[in-house]
């Protein structure tokens, strides 16, 4: 970590960088390991069934603990905070947490949701200070979508949630679609047609080997290049440069000006070299990679009475020794590692 500097009597903490000079700029906070969907690529029902041992309530960070940790991360250079899960909106009174985080700095405070509860929550989220929303939606075909969420949840209610978010004053949410061959690759073009020209940025995500329960196989991956080519044949596209360092999506805009799409190609075109994201799990563990096998326990420090400075030093020590490059090193051997589940680490 670079040493603190003083300006007008105030201590300005500069950013921390890892072994490969990647700064800590983004924090993803899993507020719960629970979800009301059982998406086949994340929480398959045969693993995450009624007897699955989710975290006991006492093990989950309180809102006050999360807000305190976010404040420490902000002091280390974090400028973007994304609330995730599981499904963050199943955490009761989530807007109270947002209201605690929003004043901590000039943050890009965002939330990713399956939108199942968004229609009822959108106005409260906006009032609390949330700035942006991303919605996970894997198909507009109702049969396909119900099969993928595996709880028989209809597309129409997700679209109602998106509409409610816009009515509450949010800009059109980004839409994330995980593409898995044999399940929903035929939905790529219908999704592009539907969201083109609406102000939504539709982002296609390659099916990834996060965790160990989703039965990932390379043959199930639809490469980002194939997705772009599929859309380009009907709606010509051109590439757009990244908006900032660490942007995970490759950007393309429609040549006729009808908006843009993104592709997140962790499998076929890894972006480890510019990864600036840390992840905080619902039980207070710090992970430095989506494909991590272990984390650093920050909850123990919090509950043992550690000062903010001691917590800051623990985070900095973890980040400055970070060497993660999983997607660049992916192989048959690494794919079989016992990795933390996406629903726990916050995708």
pLDDT confidence tier of residue 327, bands split at 50, 70 and 90: low
Tokens linked to 222: 């639809």
3-state class of 86 per DSSP? coil
pTM of the model: 0.90
**Structural domain contains residue 218:** yes
The 10 Å CB-count burial string (b at 16+, else e) for 131-166 is bbbbbbbbbbbeebbeebbbeebebeebbbbbebbb
Which alpha helices (H) appear in 168-292, and where do they start and end? 188-195, 224-234
Q: Which residue has the tokens 């805009």?
A: 253
pLDDT at 46: 85
Q: Which of 175, 268, 176 is nearest to 222 (CA)?
A: 268
Please report, to the nearest 10 degrees, the dihedral formed by the alpha carbons of residues 6, 100, 73, 105 taken in order. Answer: -40
Q: Are 329 and 273 in contact (CB under 8 A)?
A: no
Mean of pLDDT values over 176-192 = 96
pLDDT at 339: 53
**Beta carbons within 8 Å of 103's beta carbon, 6+ residues apart:** 129
Residue 8 domain flag: no
- Return the pLDDT at 12: 44
Is the peptide bond prior to 233 cis by the omega test (within 30 degrees of 0)?
A: no
Q: Average pLDDT over the chain, rounded to whole?
A: 89
Ramachandran class of 306: left when φ > 0, alpha when ψ lies in -120 to 50, beta otherwise: beta
**CATH number of the domain residue 92 falls in:** 3.20.20.70
**How many helices (H) and strands (E) are present in the chain, helices listed first?**
12, 14
Which of the residue ranges 73-77, 101-105, 215-219 would you say has the lowest mean pLDDT?
215-219
| Within a domain: 159 | yes
Q: What pLDDT is stored for residue 271 in this prediction?
A: 67
Mean per-residue pLDDT for 20-31?
95
* SS3 annotation, 90-135: HCCCHHHHHHHHHHHCCCEEEEEECCCCHHHHHHHHHHHCCCEEEE
pLDDT tens digits, 206-217: 987 665 666 667
Task: Give 267-281 pLDDT, tens digit per residue.
Answer: 877 767 888 999 999
- Band of pLDDT at residue 102, cut at 50, 70 and 90: very high
Residue 79 pLDDT greater than 80, yes or no: yes
As a whole number, mean pLDDT of residues 72-93 equals 96
Quick one: pLDDT band at residue 10, thresholds 50, 70, 90? very low
Reported confidence tier of residue 338, pLDDT bands at 50, 70, 90: low
- Check residue 222 and give its pLDDT: 92
pLDDT value for 328: 52
Q: What is the mean pLDDT of residues 27-37?
A: 96
Asked, for residue 11, whether it belongs to a domain, the answer is no
Q: What is the pLDDT of residue 3?
A: 42
Question: Quick one: the chain helix, strand, coil %, rounded to 5?
Answer: 35, 20, 45
> Is there a domain that residue 14 lies in?
no
The yes-or-no verdict on residue 332 having pLDDT over 70 is no
Task: Please name the residue that has the structure tokens 């510019």.
Answer: 274
Tell me the average pLDDT across 11-24: 80
> What's the sign of the alpha-carbon dihedral 223, 272, 213, 138?
negative
Q: Please give the pLDDT value at position 219.
A: 79
The verdict on residue 126 lying in a domain is: yes
Number of domains in the chain: 1
With a cut of 90, say whether residue 237 has pLDDT above it: yes
End-to-end CA distance of the chain: 26
Q: How many residues does the chain have?
A: 347
Query: If DSSP codes are grouped into helix, strand and coil, which group holds residue 251?
Result: strand
Say if 10 falls within a structural domain. no
Which residues constitute the domain of residue 53?
A: 21-345
């Amino acid at each position: 970590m670079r040493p603190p500097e003083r300006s007008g009597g105030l201590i300005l903490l500069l950013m921390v960088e890892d072994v490969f000079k990647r700064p800590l700029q983004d924090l993803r906070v899993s507020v719960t390991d629970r979800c009301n969907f059982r998406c086949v690529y994340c929480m398959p029902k045969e693993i995450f069934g009624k007897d699955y041992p989710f975290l006991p309530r006492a093990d989950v960070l309180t809102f006050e603990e999360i807000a305190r940790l976010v404040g420490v991360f902000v002091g280390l250079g974090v400028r973007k905070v994304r609330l995730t899960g599981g499904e963050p909106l199943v955490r009761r009174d989530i807007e109270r947490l947002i209201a605690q985080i929003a004043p901590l700095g000039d943050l890009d405070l965002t939330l990713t949701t399956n939108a199942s509860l968004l229609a009822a929550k959108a106005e409260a989220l906006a009032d609390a200070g949330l700035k942006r929303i991303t919605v996970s939606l894997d198909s507009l075909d109702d049969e396909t979508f119900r099969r993928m969420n595996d709880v028989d949840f209809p597309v129409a209610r997700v679209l109602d949630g998106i509409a409610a978010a816009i009515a509450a004053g949010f800009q059109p949410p980004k839409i994330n679609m995980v593409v898995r061959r044999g399940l929903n690759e035929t939905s790529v073009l219908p999704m592009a047609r539907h969201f083109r020209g609406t102000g939504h940025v539709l982002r296609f995500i390659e099916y990834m080997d996060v965790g160990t329960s989703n039965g990932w196989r390379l043959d199930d991956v639809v490469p980002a290049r194939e997705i772009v080519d599929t859309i380009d044949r009907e709606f010509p596209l051109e590439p757009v440069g990244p908006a900032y360092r660490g942007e995970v999506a490759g950007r393309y805009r429609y040549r006729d000006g009808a908006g843009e799409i993104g592709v997140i190609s962790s499998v076929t075109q890894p972006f480890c070299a510019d990864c600036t994201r840390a992840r905080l799990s619902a039980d207070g563990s710090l992970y430095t990679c989506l494909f991590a096998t272990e984390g650093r326990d920050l909850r123990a420090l919090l509950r043992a009475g550690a000062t903010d400075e001691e917590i800051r030093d623990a985070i900095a020590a973890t980040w400055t020794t970070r060497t993660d490059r999983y997607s660049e090193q992916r192989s048959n051997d690494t794919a079989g590692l016992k990795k933390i589940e996406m629903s726990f680490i916050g995708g």
